[in-house]
Structure 1
């Protein structure tokens, strides 16, 4: 079954952000600010991409959506980071309404729309377990009876970590959160044009059956300077520095290398 992922990388959409701007020009200036872009690239390099490269099931695609106004030096850097991950395709779009363009991109990526597919979203500052694709595909097979009776089904791996990464490495705490973007997948039957972008992730359970899997930690949700969802006052989540043993667990499960993180985030 085809598995398609979607990642927005500083795409200047109309809508889709909690940080509001009066004009699209102001949004582009904010998104492409050098300080913000440097942090996004650091997170992409150390958190979001390594776990994709190390997936135990390599049969998936990830479309990274960028704006057609992304400066060339940023585009070149993004391409360099994605070298060695053949599943990734970078797709450029002018500013458009966020949900409409993302739905269009996902449906266009289906090799055979008459056949079912699986879809997931992947934020540029989050990680999923290296067996996420394998687990997602296997869970769909386990739920064959439910799949046969529904156009769409959400599969939610709701156990993971909230974390911060930086020059001192990783600080984290384990959490259970339903319907996060990270490690949430969706089944779509053949000849159905609905996509995972038709639904706000935290409300997806209102529109279809959902299956919750909570046995293993399956995501890392990083908290950083430019989290869109954390620009307004939110309750802080206490985190603690990982022990050497926990660092090894993060490397094995999420391909997050604490030593590499320290090097990338260290000043100079």
Structure 2
């Protein structure tokens, strides 16, 4: 079964942001600001990409959506970062309404729309467990009755970490966070044109059966200077620096290398 992931990387959509801008030009200027993009690249390099490269099931596709005005030096840098992950395709779009364009991109990525597929979202500052693709695929096999009776079913791995990464390394706290973006996937039956982008992630349980799996940490959500979801009403969480033992666990489960993070953010 095809598994398709979608990652927006500073794509200047109309809508889709909790931080508002008066014009699309204001949004482009904000998204492409040098300080912001430098932080996004550091997070992409050390958090979002290593876990994809290390997936135990390599049979998936990931589309990174950027704007068609994305500055060329940054495009080249993104291309170089993704060059050794063959599952990734970079897709450029002009500014359009957020949900319609993302739904269109996902549906266009289906190799055979008559066949079912699995879909997931991947934020550019989060990590998923290295066995997420394997476990998402396996969850479909575990739930044949639900799959047979429903056009769509969501699978929510709701246990993970909130973390801060910087020149000191990783500080984190374990959380249970239902229906978050990272480590949640959705089954879509053949012939159905609904996508995971049809639904606000935190409300997906209102529209389809959902299966909650909570046996192991499956995501790392980073809090940083440009979290869109935290700009207005952030709920502070107390994070603690990882012990050496936990640093090893983060590397094993999420391919997050504390030494690489320290070097990358120290050089900033």
The answer, yes or no, to whether TM exceeds 0.5 is: yes
Matched position secondary structure for 1:64? strand
In the alignment, is residue 138 of structure 1 matched against residue 154 of structure 2?
no
Alignment correspondent of 1:92: 92
Matched position secondary structure for 1:260? helix
C-alpha displacement at 1:267, in angstroms? 3.8
Matched position secondary structure for 1:113? coil
Alignment correspondent of 1:237: 237
Matched position secondary structure for 2:57? coil
- Structure-2 separation of matches of 1:235 and 1:144: 38
- Residue deviations 1:98-119, cap 9 Å, x none? 0000000000000000000000
In the alignment, is residue 227 of structure 1 matched against residue 227 of structure 2?
yes
Unaligned runs of 5+ in 1: none
Alignment correspondent of 2:120: 120
- TM-score norm. by structure 2 comes to 0.99
Unaligned runs of 5+ in 2: none
- Structure-2 separation of matches of 1:235 and 1:204: 22
- Structure-1 separation of matches of 2:92 and 2:164: 29
- Residue deviations 1:194-251, cap 9 Å, x none? 0000000000000000000000000000000000001113220100000001000000
- Structure-1 separation of matches of 2:108 and 2:129: 27
Matched position secondary structure for 1:14? coil
- Residue deviations 1:62-108, cap 9 Å, x none? 00000000000000000010011000000000000000000000000
Alignment correspondent of 1:205: 205
RMSD: 0.5
Alignment correspondent of 1:181: 181
Alignment correspondent of 1:40: 40
Alignment correspondent of 2:9: 9
- Structure-1 separation of matches of 2:23 and 2:228: 17
Alignment correspondent of 2:25: 25
- Structure-2 separation of matches of 1:106 and 1:86: 18
- Structure-2 separation of matches of 1:154 and 1:82: 28
- TM-score norm. by structure 1 comes to 0.99
- Residue deviations 1:130-171, cap 9 Å, x none? 000000000110001110000000000000000000000000
